[in-house]
Structure 1
Amino acid sequence: AIKTLVKKNFIVIAVGGGGIPVVRKNNKIIGVEAVIDKDLASQILATSINADEMLILTNVQYVYLNYGKRDQRALRRISLRKIEKYYEEGQFPPGSMGPKILASIRFIKSGGKRVIISSIDKAYKAFKGETGTEIYPG
């Protein structure tokens, strides 16, 4: 259904929070205790439909280095190589910006052309390149 909508030029909003994690066991679907990360699940969906771009919405307008510190700095446009370096240095905490950055890295490495991370109230402007953090191959 999602591929059909995308082919017809619809913007698809999917893989939000909620739902019950399940697995197939002995040809039955059973609920399991698990946490499904929506950012990583979004990356898997985007990659599986061969999306060129992925928009990740959060509660801040930009990805920041040294977030919450006196020397915090907004990242506006950054290469995969640089964002990977910052990720490996621990700049983006797990349970916060970390999964969003990891999903972005995986998406670009899987052939994606661009990831935009911004706040929901700036989504349209971010997608047009007017705000937010853009991550690109390179």
Structure 2
Amino acid sequence: MLVVAALGGNALLKRGEPLTADNQRANVRTAATALSAIVRAGHQLVITHGNGPQVGLLALQGAAYKPDEVYPLDVLGAETGGMIGYIIEQELENALDHAQPVATLLTQVLVDGRDPAFGHPTKFIGPVYSRDEAEARAAAAGWSIAQDGEKWRRVVPSPKPLDIPDMRVLQLLLDQGVIVICTGGGGIPVRQRPDGSLIGIEAVIDKDAASALLADKLSADALLLLSDVGAVYSDFGTNQQAAITELTPDEARALDLPAGSMGPKVEAAAAFAERDGAFACIGKLEDALALLQGTTGTRIRRRKA
């Protein structure tokens, strides 16, 4: 079975933890143990991951530069993809006793430069500021800003992923039995110029949407969306909350879920599960193999058993 496993932010940093290299490595080591169980069970594995905290850290460091010296988001995305991929790659190799090759692929993801998201930036990135400071930085750097709780932050576009130009390289690696870490942080956003060449663009792509696109283009059997939440819940946060064990794509889309957390995961899972024979699972990272086996979490597929 070909499995695409998308690691949520807790794979690198648990809620409330400082963003240190040691904390990230310790959390990735735990993730690698769970992922290695999938490989040991005989499945082929592709790994994707988020990068929100790491991009925020690089953006904070970049704030020390003059406005015309700040690196664009596509470059920051590439930097975080390399950094996070390196840690996952190394810890997974260790967990597998170096019995199978693992490689990180910096992955371009094509978006439409005319996507409506570019006119309505919504994705928070970077540090928080007072309103006055945020407005001053926005004026100097040309940012869009929005209120985030009591503070203000930069917001950037989050366009829909359309294609993955690096699929040929990815398929070559998979054909050689390599475990591939790719599409980090939703991939490096690029647009196509009139002459057909690609160029980076200021945006961030939803990691779950990009993972679903990747899994579909690979004709993967399963998409695992892994986080620190055990399942999709009805009446979440109330005394009546209950785990939902199975959904069809239509049932999943009908749920009223938060746009900033479970909503994108369920939408991505439903989109992938439209294909006959494919299924998506949402659940805890440490339960990765059990999710694949159908003994925990929420499974989304076209036909119920």
Report TM bin, short chain.
0.7 to 0.9
Amino acid at match of 1:14: C
Q: Distance in 1 between matches of 2:291 and 2:179?
A: 15
Residue number in structure 2 paired with 1:113: 278
C-alpha RMSD over aligned residues: 2.4
Output the TM-score relative to the length of structure 2: 0.39
CA separation of 1:3 and 1:33: change in aligned 2, threshold 3 A: same
Q: Distance in 1 between matches of 2:249 and 2:192?
A: 35
Output the TM-score relative to the length of structure 1: 0.80
Amino acid at match of 2:191: V
Give the superposition deviation at 1:9. Answer: 6.3
Segments of structure 1 that go 5 or more residues without pairing to the other structure are none
Give the superposition deviation at 1:18. Answer: 6.8
Q: 1:64-103, CA deviations, whole angstroms, 9 ceiling, x for partnerless residues?
A: 11221222111112223322322xxx2x111211111111
Give the superposition deviation at 1:5. Answer: 4.8
Judge which range, 32-41 or 69-78, deviates more: 69-78
Aligned residues: 134
Amino acid at match of 2:189: P
User: Which of 216, 226, 246 is the matching residue for 1:47?
Assistant: 216
CA separation of 1:81 and 1:69: change in aligned 2, threshold 3 A: same
Q: Is the 8 A contact 2:186 2:207 kept in 1?
A: no
Q: Distance in 2 between matches of 1:24 and 1:106?
A: 25
Q: Distance in 1 between matches of 2:289 and 2:222?
A: 14
Which has the greater radius of gyration?
A: 2
Amino acid at match of 1:131: T
Amino acid at match of 1:72: Q
Amino acid at match of 2:171: K
Q: Distance in 2 between matches of 1:128 and 1:23?
A: 38
Residue number in structure 2 paired with 1:68: 237
Give the superposition deviation at 1:6. Answer: 4.5
Give the superposition deviation at 1:36. Answer: 0.2
Residue number in structure 2 paired with 1:132: 297
Q: Is the 8 A contact 1:62 1:118 kept in 2?
A: yes
CA separation of 1:46 and 1:122: change in aligned 2, threshold 3 A: same
Q: Is the 8 A contact 1:114 1:134 kept in 2?
A: yes
Percent identity of the aligned residues? Answer: 38
Amino acid at match of 1:17: G
Residue number in structure 2 paired with 1:15: 183
Q: Is the 8 A contact 2:270 2:301 kept in 1?
A: no
Q: Distance in 2 between matches of 1:121 and 1:74?
A: 17
Q: Is the 8 A contact 2:186 2:206 kept in 1?
A: no
Q: Distance in 1 between matches of 2:199 and 2:275?
A: 31
Query: Matched residue of 1:22: which SS?
Result: strand
